[in-house]
A and B are shown apart, each in its own frame.
Chain A
Amino acid sequence: MADRSATAAAGRRSSVGYAERRRRAGLLLVAPALVVLIAVLALPIVASIVLAFQEADSATGAFGGSWVGLDNFAAVPSDPAFGIALRNSVYFTLVEVTVVVVAGLGIALLLNHRLGRSGFFIVILLIPWALAPVANATLWKWIYNANYGILNVVLRQLGVIDDNVVWLGDPWLALHAMLLADIWKSVPFIALLLLAGLQNVPQILYRAARLDGASALQAFRHVTLPQLRTTLLIAVVLQSIWALKVFDLIYVLTKGGPADGTVTLNFLAYRVTFNFGDMGYGAAIADVLFLLMFGLALLYVRVFRPGRAAVAPG
């Protein structure tokens, strides 16, 4: 109704109503992006599902391969590499997300403190975040170097170890070395996210808690945590998705070794497809990972609907 004068003005220039012109303009503006997204996202996702039901060898040119029904998926559970990759992915994600969110929360609380509110700390958080994952991996490869790495030097000087440790030479150690490198890089974004969440908590709640005689710990438990619940949930879901996607670090640090100790589902799908040339089976593994992440994405969308303030009171 408020648009009546606008409609009249527009009507003088064309016979089509203003609302209708807005709708058409909207479609026109959305169309190019939509076409690109359909071409590079939607179609490939569908194609990947189709591919998983085919015997497609990259040597024979792939696609249009013979249909093999569920054979590719049936091969998944009995593949020992898949079992190892699934276990590694789940373990890596659980540990990574837990440590990153807890450390991120700690840092966010620290930087929200009267003494921590300096732009300097924000700047140093942005550096690991902006670093290319490959550059990060190279840096840690050097830190972990068995002969000259600074980690061995420092630990020997401190007397923690007597001899150099080959950090990337043992499956268990390599997986945890990778975890540490990934955690170091991932904490900053989550810390910034939680800091933004903390700054959205109404100060009056803390004043009320203090008036009621609450200690700092009680205020944290009964004010901060409940207020931060949605932000924490977003942090957990986002970080889980990112942890399942880790690739660059594995590629540079270990290439999945030793003894598949650092092979995750993502890396296995890559290896099967592009090193072993078995595109159908690779697509099947990718689709399993896809389902796992789709579940997480749905959870994210449920938590975080557009237009709804995540840090809602109550």
Chain B
Amino acid sequence: MSAMSRRRGRRLVADASIRILLVVFTCWTLGPIAWGVVSSLLPTEALIQTPPDLSPAKFTLANFEEVLGSGHNLVQGLLNSAIVATLTAGIALVLGSMAAYALARLRVPGGNRLLLIVLATQMFPGIVIVIPLFVVLSRAGLIDTYAGLVLVYLSFILPIVIWVLKGFFEAIPPQLERAAAVDGASPLQTFRLIVLPISLPPLFATAVFAFIEAWNEFFFAIILTRLDVKTGPIAIAEFSGQYQTLYGQMVAAAVLASIPVVLLAVVFRQYILKGFVEGAVKG
């Protein structure tokens, strides 16, 4: 009797501590984000009081109106990001799905070695490739153009797309392709008419991932853009460098740029978890 109640007591204590840890974890993860969102909704006068004035009457969308206004280049930056990210994701998906299917199913000579090299290049620091690319793109007049930026973005996005899609294509039952072959379909027809249509969900998820990566990219963008195709992250970095004291606006710009990618990640979480996280564990 007493042993049982002791066991139950111990279980209650264990559950309570797990619950406390979960609360701590939630606060730790959401705290900075919550503070960022709150700050973006408060005028500077409220933010520079100690402690900050959090009375509901102070909340306003003024910071957002200000950073979206014509005085800043945030809107143009986000627009550029959207264009570059869409182009990158689209091209990476077309080239990547073709290569991934070939590597998964069509016995390309040296395919496995190629795959390993593709994976390894993923780990090279951007600075190594950006110096020669900068020189070549300057000569070709491609600095500060969409084409130049998209081309360079493919260097790190295409490998991930190939790697992830290869995993998806391998999971398609081979009987399907064999049946198509019996019906006289060529390998290319099989790919286009059978494999691609049934792979739409993973293709879409991979495109979402590629979009997020390209949207967030900063390092190549700061080196390869000047004025015309400055992306969202550049606009935010410049803002937080130039207008250091407009705290609310600085954070509002960061919040605005984060909303699309956070939404995409949350909405498509099932695919991201399956494709990227479990893919990295299972190989």
Interface residues of A (CB under 8 A from B): 2-3, 5-6, 9-10, 12-13, 18, 21-23, 25-30, 32-34, 36-37, 39-45, 47-48, 51, 62-63, 107, 110, 113, 115-116, 121-143, 145, 147-148, 150, 153, 156-157, 184, 188-189, 192-193, 195-197, 200, 231, 234, 238, 241, 244-245, 247-248, 251-252, 266, 269-270, 273-274, 279, 282-283, 286-287, 289-290, 293-294, 296-298, 300-301, 304-311
Query: Are B218 and A9 in contact, with the CB atoms below 8 A?
Result: no
Taken together as a complex, chains A and B put the C-alpha atoms of A12 and B116 apart, in Å, by 37
Task: Report the stretch among B1-9, B55-63, B197-205, B250-258 that lies at the interface.
Answer: B250-258
Question: If A131-B261, A148-B52 touch, does A192 touch B240 (CB 8 Å cutoff)?
Answer: no
Q: Quick check: is B193 within 8 A (CB to CB) of the other chain? A: no
Residues of B contacting A305 in the complex (Cβ-Cβ under 8 angstroms): 116, 283
Q: Give Cα distance in the complex from A40 to B147, angstroms.
A: 13
Known: A143-B35, A297-B120. A126 touches B272 (CB 8 A): yes
- How far in angstroms is the closest Cβ of chain A from B253? 7
Main secondary structure of the interface of A (DSSP, over half): helix
Q: How large is the interface on B (under 10, 10 to 19, 20 to 34, 35 or more residues)?
A: 35 or more
A286 to B86, CA, bound (A): 30
Kindly state whether residue B43 has any CB partner on chain A within 8 Å.
Answer: no
- Name the CB-closest residue of A to B126: A245
For the complex, is B29 an interface residue (Cβ under 8 Å from A)? yes
Q: Is the CB of A107 within 8 A of B108?
A: no
In the bound complex, do residue A143 and residue B99 qualify as a contact, i.e. CB atoms below 8 Å apart?
no
Further pairs besides A139-B32, A310-B283: 10, Cβ < 8 Å: A3-B181, A5-B182, A44-B130, A47-B135, A127-B266, A138-B237, A193-B280, A244-B125, A252-B241, A306-B119
Q: Are A293 and B33 in contact (CB under 8 A)?
A: no
Q: Given A33-B95, A141-B240, A306-B112, A13 and B25 touching (CB < 8 A)?
A: no
Residues of the A chain whose Cβ atoms lie less than 8 Å from the Cβ of B106: 22-23, 25-26, 29
- Asked whether A63 and B22 contact (CB < 8 A) given A142-B247, A248-B219, A297-B120, the answer is no
